Structure 1
Amino acid sequence: MSNKDSFLSKSQKSLLKQFKKQISPAHTSAVAPVQEKARKEEEQIDDTTLFQSALQGVQRLDHSNVVQRAKPAKPKKPDAQTIAKRIAAEGITDHDGSSALSDTQAALNPVGSQQTLSYRITTLQNKVFEDLKLGKMRWFEAVDLHGCTIEQARAAVLEIIHLAQQDNQNVIKIVHGKGPDAVLKTYVNGWLRQHRDVLAFVSAPENQGGTGAVLVLLKRAEKNPKFQPE
């Protein structure tokens, strides 16, 4: 204690000690964050310097000669009228004799717009037919016949069957609609019953078109003696 402190009374000395205790931590707490910040800045500078030093002589790679792989485009769904126009321009191709379908025979057995269509060959297993009815069999592709003439619809039906068999697929969906006269529905019903490669067909479940569409089960192309895989 200094000489000046010796002239103080006991109460004044006590107050002086308390004051020294109060200002000492405050001073320390104010200085500490400043020192910590300075230390971190020094470390950051050192890390940046080291990183820049390590990159000396390194050059950016030239990516101009890298081939960018484009995503394959999804195949467009067959359009019935486009198919029919192409066939009309190229001439009708007889796929295994299946193009010789009788319109007259089809028209002689009209069906109602809300009627459920159902057909199967006698040798088809019940389990397979039930799976087709319930929509459990994944179909290859669908074709929508709305707006088609009878000739266009026939060409589109034959072509979608051919495309499926080329890809060795055996289930397709044909959307014929539910017009008041059910004309296209009547013809589709008749054509499919005549086609040699149709094993079964049935009106689709409600969530897949209901009585406005049919799911068709085909013979697999690999079982056809004329099938020639690429």
Structure 2
Amino acid sequence: MAARDENKDDAHLFREAIGGVRPLRQAYADAPPRPRPPPEPIQALRDEASVRDELLTHAIDPAAIEGGDEISYLKPGQPPRLLKRLRRGLFSIRAEIDLHEMSSAVARDAIRLFLDDCLRQGELCVRIVHGKGLRSKAQGPVLKQLTDSLLRRRADVLAFTSARPAQGGTGAVIVLLQRS
């Protein structure tokens, strides 16, 4: 009997020590855990972005284009007279971007954004001033080569050619974009 009295005393002391309590409402006890957000493959996305940037970054061959050389391109399937008309300046230039003082990475993004914006606004004949590469020393005209290779890769570029002397000569290119 002494053990039973001791247990009652212990229970009484415990209740006094913790104070008044109230039972949990049933709603809290049965609440489901919050759903976890879906996992994001952050590293995989970073890897893919770096691969894309590596593919767009390429070593520039200074022998490929010299500072004073004219560059031109005509998309396969387009009539040759289109390039002739572009060379003669028969299209009205509607927008322009100047790449002077830009690094290759900045210029690459600037060209892409500029052309995308021009297409959205319906500006189909544009000028890109890349410079002649006179300060590029042994590397040759870096931005000129970059502009040439980027424009050739775009599906929406019909033709481009070095500008006429009054429009920048071999330091600029006139681009004809395809209407979407």
| Alignment TM-score > 0.5, same fold | yes
Over the matched positions of the two proteins, sequence identity in percent amounts to 33
Read off the aligned partner of 2:78 and give its amino acid letter.
L
In 2, distance between residues paired with 1:112 and 1:173? 20
SS in 2 for 1:146: coil
Q: 1:209 aligned to 2:162?
A: no
Q: Which residue in the other structure is 2:126 paired with?
A: 172
Q: Which amino acid is the alignment partner of residue 169 of structure 2?
A: G
CA contact (8 A) 1:103 1:191 kept: no
Letter in 1 for 2:105: E
Aligned partner of 1:192 among 141, 151, 155: 151
Q: Is the contact between residue 162 and residue 173 of structure 2 (CA under 8 Å) also seen in structure 1?
A: yes
Counterpart for residue 183 of structure 1: 142
Give the 3-state SS of the residue equivalent to 1:173 in structure 2. Answer: strand
CA distance in 2, matches of 1:210, 1:108: 21
Runs of 5+ consecutive residues of structure 1 not aligned to the other structure:
1-98, 222-230
Extract structure 1 runs of 4+ deviating beyond 6 A. Answer: none
Amino acid at match of 2:172: A
Q: Deviations over 1:104-139 (max 9, x none)?
A: 17x257311000001111211222211111111012
Equivalent residue number for residue 56 of structure 2: 102
CA apart distance, 1:171 = 1.1
Q: TM-score, normalised by structure 1?
A: 0.50
CA apart distance, 1:103? 2.5
Instruction: Choose between structure 1 and 2 for higher RCO, CA contacts under 8 A separated by at least 6 residues.
Output: 2
Q: Give the alignment's Cα RMSD to 1 decimal.
A: 2.1
Distance verdict in 2 for CA 1:128–1:155, change over 3 Å: same
Q: TM-score w.r.t. structure 2 length?
A: 0.63
Structure 1 residues 1-230: aligned runs within 5 Å: 102-104=56-58, 107-108=60-61, 110-180=64-134, 181-221=140-180
Q: CA offset at residue 195 of structure 1?
A: 1.2
C-alpha distance in 1 between matches for 2:159 and 2:116: 16
Deviations 1:9-31 (A, max 9, x none): xxxxxxxxxxxxxxxxxxxxxxx
| 2:128 alignment partner, SS class | strand
Q: Structure 2 unaligned runs (5+)?
A: 1-52, 135-139
Whichever residue aligns with residue 108 of structure 2, its letter is R
- Note the C-alpha offset of 1:100: 9.3
